[in-house]
Chains A and B, each alone.
Chain A
């Protein structure tokens, strides 16, 4: 049995020694613990017999009482017990991200984490419904997704502000977010209005003799005969100021 146990493994080795007390009857107990001095080492009994070093457990299980969960470790010091464990290298690859990367859309500008409160405050008002009524479907579609991206950016900035404990600025982010939300609400309003107008137009078209909704593509509108003479009628109407309802019907 090795007597020069490392301090870290002292508990285990002394436990092992106490278990082997019966087999070391000729050497006294004080002998065991004073083995560090060279003169005593020569006198100490030394055994390389493997079976005597073996732990005696009730069922012969070598791993009894050893748990990786509770960090109990092996009961006996191993040959590598004194060697320090290798540590993983602190390696974080630093990569260059080009400015065209799509994830920069979550930030105010490529390479910039978040806006300062003053920069966050520098925004205009929301789009109003009156302005959006005259916009095309494509415009509204594009504006909607722009608003979504802006809200994502603001949300990321707020999260980072709170995580990094940078300071004030949450109120400014909230105000800007509210303004974007107003624009989105206005887009919904304008589109809903447009839908109701279309529904009304369909209702009117059903009673219109010139429009046949059941007809195929390109044959819905069948203008009647007076369409050719429309200019003359209008000219006559302008001259005579007659109250004729038919041209107004077509204009609707």
Chain B
């Protein structure tokens, strides 16, 4: 590969001065460079997330030697990260390492490929359902931590209670008659003598 790279360099050199250090011989560089999609950038610019120690010259030579991409200008900034909790249970907070973002101007313009239209291979529906569930649970927990426990009266009614309410409405309107098919003790006849007489007639009609 070294011969191939040398041959390529001899064939066509970039407009800038290349570095001469043999990095693989000494350092075995294992940096991970991430290309970022930035909608606001024109096609002749590309954005990368690089390790914090990277310099502009590093990225310029890296892109040339590894990808054969010629770069005219490099701009860089370090993006501070927000304070983060170590875990939800602990009260320990820390500031994560910042990201270094570099924007390069390309000699040849580049257009990002379109996002896939069909998200079925990624099980998008299932994933979205899971995300929603997680978010709802997190919100509930946050509300509980803030002692914002909703009152029983403000919570939505459970299904059984709704069914019970509907049944009660039907009974009040006379649509459904109450009946538990229990034979009462004869001593109750004296207490609800008249009503029992009426009821017995009704039950006979219904049954």
Instruction: Report which A residues bind B (CB closer than 8 A).
Output: 93-97, 101-103, 105-107, 111-114, 116-118, 138, 141-142, 144-145, 148-149, 151-152, 155-156, 159-161, 163-169, 184, 187-188, 191
Shortest CB distance A155–B (Å): 4
B68 touches A168 (CB 8 A): no
Complex: A156 Cα to B49 Cα, angstroms? 9
Q: Which B34-51 residues sit within 8 Å CB-CB of chain A?
A: 34-37, 42-43, 46, 49
Interface of A is mostly: helix
Complex: A155 Cα to B115 Cα, angstroms? 16
Question: Which of B83-91, B123-131, B177-185 interfaces with chain A?
Answer: B123-131
B121 touches A118 (CB 8 A): yes
Query: Given the interface contacts A93-B43, A111-B113, A148-B66, does A167 sit within 8 Å of B124 by beta carbon?
Result: yes
A152 touches B32 (CB 8 A): yes
Task: Tell me which residues across on chain B come within 8 A of A107, comparing CB atoms.
Answer: 113
Task: Tell me which residues across on chain B come within 8 A of A191, comparing CB atoms.
Answer: 28
Interface string of B1-23 (1 = CB under 8 A from A): 11100000000000000000000
Query: Given the interface contacts A138-B2, A159-B49, does A117 sit within 8 Å of B32 by beta carbon?
Result: no
Task: Tell me which residues across on chain A come within 8 A of B43, comparing CB atoms.
Answer: 93, 95
Given A144-B24, A148-B32; 7 other pairs, CB 8 A cutoff: A95-B43, A105-B67, A159-B36, A160-B115, A167-B122, A184-B28, A191-B28
Task: Tell me which residues across on chain A come within 8 A of B46, comparing CB atoms.
Answer: 103
The interface centre, meaning the residue of A113, A149, A191 with most chain B CB atoms within 10 A of its CB, is: A113
B66 touches A105 (CB 8 A): yes
B32 touches A113 (CB 8 A): no
Partner of A142, one of B1, B33, B68: B1
Interface string of B123-141 (1 = CB under 8 A from A): 1101110000000000000
A145 touches B37 (CB 8 A): no
Complex: A111 Cα to B124 Cα, angstroms? 22
B24 touches A163 (CB 8 A): no
B69 touches A102 (CB 8 A): yes
Query: Given the interface contacts A141-B2, A166-B119, does A151 sit within 8 Å of B32 by beta carbon?
Result: yes
Question: Which of B53-61, B104-112, B150-158, B188-196 interfaces with chain A?
Answer: B104-112
The interface centre, meaning the residue of A96, A114, A163, A168 with most chain B CB atoms within 10 A of its CB, is: A168
Shortest CB distance B13–A (Å): 15
A113 touches B69 (CB 8 A): no
B127 touches A103 (CB 8 A): no
B66 touches A149 (CB 8 A): yes
Complex: A161 Cα to B63 Cα, angstroms? 23
Complex: A93 Cα to B28 Cα, angstroms? 40
The interface centre, meaning the residue of A144, A145, A152, A191 with most chain B CB atoms within 10 A of its CB, is: A152
Task: Tell me which residues across on chain A come within 8 A of B36, comparing CB atoms.
Answer: 159
Partner of A167, one of B24, B31, B127: B127
A168 touches B122 (CB 8 A): yes
Complex: A145 Cα to B5 Cα, angstroms? 12
Task: Tell me which residues across on chain A come within 8 A of B123, comparing CB atoms.
Answer: 167-168
Complex: A27 Cα to B122 Cα, angstroms? 74
Shortest CB distance A171–B (Å): 12
Complex: A149 Cα to B65 Cα, angstroms? 12
Shortest CB distance A65–B (Å): 34
Of all chain A residues, the one with the shortest Cβ separation from B64 is A102
Please list 8 pairs of residues, one from A and one from B, whose beta carbons are closer than 8 Å in the complex, sorted by A's number. A95-B111, A101-B108, A111-B113, A116-B121, A138-B2, A141-B1, A156-B34, A167-B128
Complex: A135 Cα to B3 Cα, angstroms? 16
